[in-house]
Structure 1
Amino acid sequence: MGTWGTGHFDNDAAADFAAGLDEAEPERRVAMVRDVLVRTIDATDLFTDADEAVAAAALVAAQCPGGAPVDPDDGPQEPMPAFPDQLRKLAHEALARIATDPCGPAPNWVDPDDAKQWQALLTRLRTVLVPPPPTVPLPDVERPT
């Protein structure tokens, strides 16, 4: 069937990825998400993993401040483990690669309205996934007495 919508899980590859997460042992799910993000960042052909990476990024973003929860009717039905902070950066990198690669899925939407909607979805995810700046401890300061 291919792609049937612009949502995170609205295509066969992402739906299969969600089903695979549901079938996997809970301790394996973090590695599955990490693997698809790394494959996407390193890929020479983005078409292969891009849809799964968008779905994986949506799962990571759902655990970030400002992230929207993933509807279990669309994505995995099983609860996801807490994702380590490093996945946030990987998800952001993977989405940046997907959004800008001239050979990836971004320029291949037939309907311009769908293309805009999909790009807006990627932008929202990337905004949520921007890693927070590192906190710098304030130096101890003596207070006058």
Structure 2
Amino acid sequence: MGFWDVGPFDNDDAADFAGDLDVVAEDVRIEMVGRVLDRVVTANDDVDMGIPKAVAAAALIAAQCPGGEATCPVYGPSTPMPQFPNSLRGLAVDALDNVLAASSWRAVEWNDAAKGQQWRRNIIALRNVLDPPQRETLFAN
């Protein structure tokens, strides 16, 4: 897999996933996004293969949330996405938590990369859109 940059679709696997989403029916898109997230949530120690697609899937869901950003117009899906069910938000949060906690070679590779800090900040920003910090948490000592 080639990393190009720190965005959710800035790698080969995520761009391929976006292309796959473009060619299937709307109801299948919801199912595909859910499967990608579930794979990372239920992975024991091997989340490597699912990280790029899970981040992209989370970005698609976050794009529909208040404060969410539109997905990459170049490498993201070109077909409009269906409205994702709220149940996928929690699954996306759990997947991103696993991505951030992963000791996999992909996560370690990003941590060691020059842009690793920015990649982690982007993942945390996605997570915060999906599950905004509570006001009490923001102002806690």
TM range (shorter): 0.7 to 0.9
State the structure with more CA Rg.
1
- For 2:64, the equivalent position in structure 1 comes to 63
> In structure 2, what residue type is equivalent to 1:6?
V
Matches within 5 A, 1:1-145: 2-44=2-44, 45-103=46-104, 105-109=106-110, 112-130=113-131
Where structure 1 has 5 or more consecutive residues not aligned to the other structure, the ranges are 134-145
- Root mean square deviation of aligned Cα: 1.8
Q: CA deviation at 1:27?
A: 1.6
What CA deviation, in whole Å up to 9, does each residue of 1:4-44 have, x standing for no partner? 11110111110110000001111210000000000010113
- For 2:139, the equivalent position in structure 1 comes to none
Secondary structure, aligned partner of 1:35: helix
Normalization by structure 2: what TM-score? 0.87
**8 Å CA contact 1:38, 1:94 repeated in 2:** yes
**8 Å CA contact 2:111, 2:117 repeated in 1:** no
Normalization by structure 1: what TM-score? 0.85
Q: CA deviation at 1:71?
A: 2.7
More helix by share: 2
Alpha-carbon distance in structure 1 between the residues aligned to 2:14 and 2:72: 14
Alpha-carbon distance in structure 2 between the residues aligned to 1:127 and 1:89: 12
Equivalenced residue count is: 133
Distance change >3 Å, CA 84–CA 131, structure 1 → 2: farther
What CA deviation, in whole Å up to 9, does each residue of 1:74-110 have, x standing for no partner? 2000000000000000000000000011125222127
**8 Å CA contact 2:6, 2:115 repeated in 1:** yes
Alpha-carbon distance in structure 1 between the residues aligned to 2:110 and 2:89: 26
> In structure 1, what residue type is equivalent to 2:37?
L
The structure 1 segments of at least 4 consecutive aligned residues displaced by more than 3 Å after TM superposition are 110-113
Q: CA deviation at 1:72?
A: 2.2
Distance change >3 Å, CA 24–CA 47, structure 1 → 2: same
**8 Å CA contact 1:106, 1:119 repeated in 2:** no
> In structure 1, what residue type is equivalent to 2:90?
K
Identity of aligned residues (%): 47
